[in-house]
Amino acid sequence: MSATGRLPTREPVQQPDLEPVIDERTLEILEYRRRTALIKRRGWLVRRMLLLADLLGLTVPFVLAQLLFPVSAAEPDRVGPAFELMLFVATLPLWIVAAKLYGLYDHDEERTDHSTADDLVGVFHLITLGTWVIFIGATLTELARPELLRFVFFWGAAVAAVTGLRALARAFCRRRISYVQNAVIVGAGEVGQLIAHKLLDHPEYGINLVGFVDVEPKERRADLEQLTVLGSPERLPAIVRAYDVERVVIAFSNDSHEETLALIRALNELGVQVDIVPRLFEIVGPGVDLHTIEGVPLIGLPPIRLSRSSRLIKRTFDICLSALGLIALAPVLGAIALRIKADSPGPVFFRQTRVGIGDKTFQMFKFRTMTADADARKGEVAHLNMHAQNGGDGRMFKVPDDPRTTEFGRFLRRYSLDELPQLLNVLKGDMSIVGPRPLILDEDRQVADWARKRLFVKPGITGLWQVLGRSDIPFEEMTRLDYLYVINWSLGGDLSLMLRTIPAIFRSRRAY
């Protein structure tokens, strides 16, 4: 992983050093991508076209509602129609953020069978909620008179327009070569060949099947003879790079359970969409999608990457929430600082080096909860480490009722108030409100290779580890939770974790 936290790019080679002869369609796609230096793949294309469809689908009905249902001259609005339109246009970014929360931009790249019909419930909810917000806002501010017929027309027209324009946008995208995804199937047995048959039978999925990967492939069906076996699973990373593969379907290969898990983790590092015919469970998290290929269910594991819009939204939330939090909590922070100084000698803040996004280190701020000589006395309490007792995993250092903790420090830890200064780290850009646990250097050195994808996003003040168990979670389980958080990231998931953090803090009976 690069220092910026971005995954390495996959550049197709000019002449792949692989034996099988690839069909003309694959060669055409590879040549197009080399010629255009293509980074604008299906997700990039569809998201932008859907964004344009939503903007038009909202703005045009609003203008029509103004023209068809003008305000009565006897009771005019406090602002004119032009200013109303400007206010509505100013709210469009909020509509787009809400649409992203509904997942209305993310599924086309991941699911083979996703269609506009699948968006209908989300579009209906979004526009209904937005219409009510505008109605209530107009009523409370009295900037405009909320004519019922105008709002009903806007609501119905917007639902129809957004849905129709999204269908047209997808139809346009499916005619572009950028929409096509090169794919390979791991496993050339009966299940793998069934999947291949269904993919070839549905060109609307936008999947160009390059071939199979298998050590002991079965004899191919007559309708699949044109597909070749590209090699063994060990060569799959090289095959992905050589043929610019974006989707890999795991269809009951002959590899062992552990080998398949290692393969999936390697593919995630390359930014590949992985679809699994259900059998495995270790890599299934809360954000996993279930979709179908002509009735065959597949578990979809999206590639580990955040789009630019997702990063921008996440960073915007971090800046706004951390700034508001520091301003609103300023009296509390000041009172805590004064009490720490009165409670024991030493600095107010405890600074510690932690590992952040892309393996970069930073200084994390916390309120000091221990005596000033706590580091020098660490050897005195090493035998009390709860994680190392009874032959446990001692890679994390947590001591129940640590004698080095001050009286006021125990109170701060009990309610996680000592972590409030981390809002400064969030505002600086070192951390996020929600993310993986920020590890110290010694802990970071113990993280397994596959789990280092946890550093693809910024560490957080809270996260799955905080909500599900805090210090009770052993090291390996904590890194697995962080890995699952990263590969299943969503803005809605972050909001959910934020809401679940406060109850989790009060449920905790111990502070370390």
The dihedral region occupied by 103, where left means phi > 0, alpha psi between -120 and 50, and beta the remainder, is left
Q: What Rg value do the Cα atoms of the chain yield, rounded?
A: 27
Identity of the residue numbered 227: L
Residues 323, 336, single domain; the answer is yes
What is the 8-class DSSP label of residue 7?
P
Residues 285, 409, single domain; the answer is no
Average pLDDT, the chain: 81
Under 8 Å between Cβ of 457 and 357: yes
Instruction: Write out the two tokens for 451.
Output: 């789990």
Number of continuous H segments (helices) and E segments (strands) in the chain: 17, 12
Residues 325, 439, single domain; the answer is yes
Under 8 Å between Cβ of 246 and 178: no
Q: Residue 462 to residues 52, 431, 433, 469: CA-CA distances in angstroms?
A: 35, 10, 6, 11
Nearest to 210 by CA among 377, 28, 350: 28
Give the pairing of strands 289-293 and 349-355: unpaired
Question: Helix/strand/coil (H, E, C) string of 78-130?
Answer: CCCHHHHHHHHHHHHHHHHHHHHHCCCCCCCCCCCCCCHHHHHHHHHHHHHHH
Handedness of CA 428, 434, 436, 441 (dihedral sign): positive
Nearest to 458 by CA among 486, 416, 421, 479: 486
Q: Which helix (H) or strand (E) holds 494?
A: helix 491-507
Give the pairing of strands 273-276 and 296-301: antiparallel
How many domains are contained in the chain? 3
Residues 156, 208, single domain; the answer is no
Backbone angles phi, psi at 23, to 5 degrees: -70, 165
Residues 421, 503, single domain; the answer is yes
Residues 47, 34, single domain; the answer is no
Q: Which helix (H) or strand (E) holds 306?
A: none
Residues 364, 294, single domain; the answer is no
SS3 457: coil
Under 8 Å between Cβ of 50 and 259: no
pLDDT averaged over consecutive 10-residue blocks of the chain (512 residues)? 39 46 71 65 90 96 90 63 87 92 86 84 93 86 77 94 95 90 90 87 88 87 85 87 89 72 79 77 52 69 73 91 95 94 89 91 93 70 54 56 82 90 96 92 82 86 79 74 82 85 67 46
What is the 8-class DSSP label of residue 219?
P
* Cα separation, 382 vs 352, whole angstroms: 19
Residues 62, 204, single domain; the answer is no
* Cα separation, 77 vs 138, whole angstroms: 10
What is the 8-class DSSP label of residue 275?
E
- For 253-299, how does the pLDDT look when each residue is reduced to its tens digit (9 = 90+)? 666 777 777 888 788 778 788 888 776 544 555 455 566 766 676 77
**Is 313 within the bounds of a domain?**
yes
Under 8 Å between Cβ of 306 and 490: no
Count other Cβ atoms within 10 Å, centred on residue 330: 10
**Is 19 within the bounds of a domain?**
no
Strand pairing partners for 42? none
Under 8 Å between Cβ of 425 and 462: no
**Is 11 within the bounds of a domain?**
no
Handedness of CA 382, 386, 388, 389 (dihedral sign): positive
Handedness of CA 233, 238, 240, 242 (dihedral sign): negative
Domain boundary among 147, 173, 199: 173
* Cα separation, 58 vs 375, whole angstroms: 59
pLDDT of residue 6: 36
Count other Cβ atoms within 10 Å, centred on residue 379: 8
**Is 502 within the bounds of a domain?**
yes
pLDDT of residue 383: 55
**Is 363 within the bounds of a domain?**
yes
SS3 258: helix
Residues 352, 461, single domain; the answer is yes
SS3 293: strand
Looking up tokens 């446990």 gives: 392
**Is 69 within the bounds of a domain?**
yes
pLDDT of residue 512: 47
Count other Cβ atoms within 10 Å, centred on residue 169: 23
pTM of the shown model: 0.64
Residues 397, 339, single domain; the answer is yes
Compute CA 124 distance to the chain's CA centroid, rounded to the nearest angstrom.
Answer: 24
What are the start-end ranges of the E strands in 333-414? 349-355, 361-367
**Is 117 within the bounds of a domain?**
yes
**Is 189 within the bounds of a domain?**
yes
SS3 84: helix
The string over 265-283, giving b where at least 16 C-beta atoms fall within 10 Å of a residue's C-beta and e elsewhere, is bbbbbbbbbbbbbeeeeeb
Residues 252, 295, single domain; the answer is yes
Nearby residues of 3 by Cβ (< 8 Å), 6 or more positions away: 358, 359, 360
* Cα separation, 7 vs 266, whole angstroms: 12
Backbone angles phi, psi at 491, to 5 degrees: -65, -40
Residues 251, 324, single domain; the answer is no
Domain boundary among 301, 335, 365: 301
* Cα separation, 258 vs 282, whole angstroms: 10
Domain boundary among 301, 317, 349: 301
Looking up tokens 């052993």 gives: 474
Backbone angles phi, psi at 215, to 5 degrees: -85, -40
Q: Which domain holds residue 90?
A: 42-173
pLDDT of residue 325: 94
CATH code (residue 240)? 3.40.50.720
